[in-house]
Amino acid sequence: MSASKRVLHHNLNAFLDLISFSEGTSIAGSDDGYNVIVGGKLFTGYASPQYFLVDLPNLGIKSTAIGRYQILYRYATHYITALGLRDFSPLSQDKIALQLIRECKATQLIIDGDLTKAVAACASRWASFPGNAYGQRQENIKRLAQFFVAAGGVIK
């Protein structure tokens, strides 16, 4: 359950959960994915984003993605400053993810329940979403839609 659950539209809540599901951060022992390092290890402390350069030889890349939404380190530090956040806490991570969604012009698509267009709009931000050229594992839109509905989202 995301830290913003109390204040967001149900479809935005479900979409945040969907990102976590798609990015694979909903793992046992994690803090709802908020403390996950790319590759599945966990970090401690939310005072600031932590830098981990993880070699992912099966993908042929190295990544600094961290947190529930697998935000690259350089973007995490940028958005903390840009949004006036104090830390990399769960609430701050949610705010960063919502800002990324806004930048993709997907907020209204999500609220309206147009999941296919919302996922396509956000594919440039999350490598696990179908329709990007990152060359990483991409989730199937049908599976994403099933998860979105199970998480409380409504598709129109």
pLDDT of residue 1: 55
Mean pLDDT of 12-30: 95
pLDDT of residue 100: 98
Mean pLDDT of 78-82: 97
What count of other Cβ atoms lies within 10 Å of the Cβ of residue 87? 14
Q: Please say whether the structural domain 10-150 has been given the CATH code 3.40.50.720.
A: no
Q: How confident is the model at residue 3 (pLDDT cuts 50, 70, 90)?
A: low
pLDDT of residue 132: 85
Q: Is the pLDDT of residue 121 over 90?
A: yes
Q: Is the pLDDT of residue 2 over 80?
A: no
pLDDT of residue 7: 59
pLDDT of residue 4: 59
Give me the active site residues, please: 23
Residue 149 tokens, joined = 């509905």
Q: Is the pLDDT of residue 6 over 60?
A: no
pLDDT of residue 5: 59
